[in-house]
Amino acid sequence: MSARKTALVTGASSGIGRELARLFARDGYDLVLVARNATRLEALAAEVRESHGTHALVLPTDLALPSAADEVYAHIESRGIRVDALVNNAGFNVYGPFAETDGAAELDMLQVNVIALTRLTKLVLPGMVRRGSGRILNLGSTGSFAPGPFDAAYCASKAYVLSFSEALAAELEGTGVTVTALCPGPTRTAFATRAGMTETPLFSGRVAEPSGVAETGYRALMRGRRVIVPGIGNALLAFSVRLSPRTLVASVGRRMLLRTEAA
């Protein structure tokens, strides 16, 4: 790796994470790319190397494993890599009635969405504070703002991401380190297909492109914004949720997240 700034991006093999990695490469960052799919990571590394002269370290890793975050950090430490920007993008959903969903899969989801994100931040942040500079981007969701029936554990995990990010941002005032929560709405990635949510009203309307979401999040990160919700409709929804009775919010969420054939 070179002496240029370095961004560590989890969930970099596809979707929003891949687009964010491309944006960092465009702006002269070297990359540490983390995801399970080694083939896709290697393809992305080759692409940014050819397009931007970017050095990219590929670390195929399953962040659902409890030791994964520490192993990633140990690997970059052994190479003397300084993380200037951390993007905690990795995450997935387990969708369905909570009484029926796979409990083991939900624990894996919480490990990725909450524990790995927290642990990587814990490991990287002290160095940023010592240097007086650094940027952290955490992937939340419009689900961060509201309870999600049939998506209860996932929305709760994203509520954690938002609260954690906002609290850290306030703690770090004056240190030169910023924390941004990117909270997109429905986006055209493999997320909905993997979760079995393509037949819900939430994904039946307009769906954002991952490149646009990533660009919005990246600009907000570079400006030091604490929370960014891409899209006017999504932003208005997130704002209205904070003003509405929680029972009403949950009821509306139930209608949006119930599969069409079950409605």
The secondary structure of 238-252, three-state, reads HHHHHHCCHHHHHHH
Host domain of residue 88: 6-262
Tell me how crowded residue 6 is: count the other CB atoms within 10 A of its CB: 23
The pTM score is 0.88
Q: Tens digits of per-residue pLDDT, 12-69?
A: 999 999 999 999 999 999 999 999 999 999 999 999 999 999 999 999 999 999 999 9
Name the catalytic one among 29, 73, 95, 158: 158
Please answer whether residues 155 and 197 qualify as being in contact, where contact means their C-beta atoms are separated by less than 8 angstroms.
no
Domain count of the fold of the chain: 1
Assigned domain for 241 exists: yes
CATH number of the domain within which 218 lies: 3.40.50.720
Beta strands in the chain (DSSP E): 6-10, 30-35, 56-60, 85-88, 134-139, 177-182, 227-228
- Verify whether residue 158 is a known catalytic residue: yes
Residue with tokens 């929804």: 237
154 flagged as catalytic: yes
1 located within any domain: no
Q: What residue type is assigned to position 173 of the chain? A: E
- 126 belongs to a structural domain: yes
Tell me: the pLDDT tens digits for 64-109?
Answer: 999 999 999 999 999 999 999 999 999 999 999 999 999 999 999 9
215 domain-assigned: yes
- Which of 95, 154, 160, 218 is catalytic? The answer is 154
